[in-house]
Amino acid sequence: MDGVTIHKGGKKMHIMEGFLPSPWWIIWFVLASPFIIYGIYQINKLVKQNREILPLLAVAGAYIFVLSSLKLPSVTGSCSHPTGTALGAIIFGPFVTAVLSFISLIYQALFLAHGGFTTLGANTFSMGIVGPIFGFIIYKALMKVKVNFYIAAFFAATFADWFTYVMTSIQLALAFPAAEGGFMTSFASFATVFAVTQVPLALMEGVLTALLLKYVLQVRSDILVKMKVMSKETVKEILGRGAKA
């Protein structure tokens, strides 16, 4: 998933193929597996209950794939990219989003040489699990205190992106502690490299996600209500306000 990878002075967002030593790449596979398995169960259950969610499920998956495939130049020869996971987390929850991210990462490793198969567990854990979980929690917390829907979506997407990179920095720092200062020094090094580009990039992703959710709300608000993304009252309030405007 998303991560800083130091390799001969260069860094990439997904941890590259073969970069993580044993047992770390195995550990992250083990930790990610329960989320993916339960996510598959949830998807099967949701599809059986309502096949109308399939197009929206495809949109969420495509959004993750496209945004996380982008590689934008960063500092010191590195690159950054958004994650796109908050959309799926807000609509379907973090477990379903873990599966969508896992599938996207497989395709990226296979066809784009972005990430890798041995690091698939680590990349999924950071981008597809940690990021969506925090995005989902932030969205639910803000909606509970009646923050504007679009503002809640913006912050959910922004923090989902940031927490992804914090997690990746942790993964890399655990695998490659600094000779002096150990884990904390290594973590600070990894996290600092991407802060310059990832902070504004996450803010832009927040805006884009809020705009996409605005479109979904306008065309398929019924699904958002069924998925308990928002209540009927909230939908009426938002759409009513938009009509008056």
The count of other CB atoms within 10 Å of the CB of residue 225 is 15
**At how many degrees (to 10) do helices 149-175 and 24-49 cross?**
150
- The whole-number pLDDT of residue 193 equals 80
Residues 122, 23: Cα–Cα separation, whole Å: 12
**3-class SS of residue 5:** coil
Decide: residue 189, CB within 10 A, 0-12 exposed, 13-18 middle, 19+ buried: middle
92, 95, 86: which is closest to 2 by C-alpha? 86
CATH of domain 24-218: 1.10.1760.20
List, as own/partner pairs, every contact residues 49-57 make where C-beta atoms lie below 8 angstroms and the sequence separation is at least 24, other chains included: 50/223, 50/226, 52/223, 53/92, 53/223, 53/226, 53/227, 56/91, 56/216, 56/220, 56/223, 57/92, 57/96, 57/100
Could you tell me the residue ranges of all domains in the chain? Answer: 24-218
Round to whole Å and give the CA distance between 82 and 212. Answer: 15
Distance CA 245, CA 170 (A): 46
The pLDDT, as a whole number, for residue 73 is 62
pLDDT at 110: 93
For each of the chain's 245 residues, which pLDDT tens digit applies?
344 444 433 355 688 888 899 999 999 999 999 999 999 999 999 999 989 999 999 999 999 999 999 877 655 445 678 999 999 999 999 999 999 999 999 999 999 888 889 999 999 999 999 999 999 999 999 999 999 999 999 999 999 999 999 998 999 999 999 999 999 999 998 888 877 778 889 999 999 999 999 999 999 899 899 888 888 888 988 887 644 43
pLDDT at 65: 96
Query: What is this structure's pTM?
Result: 0.89
Which two tokens mark 147? 């923050």
Q: Which residues pair with 2 in a beta bridge?
A: 14
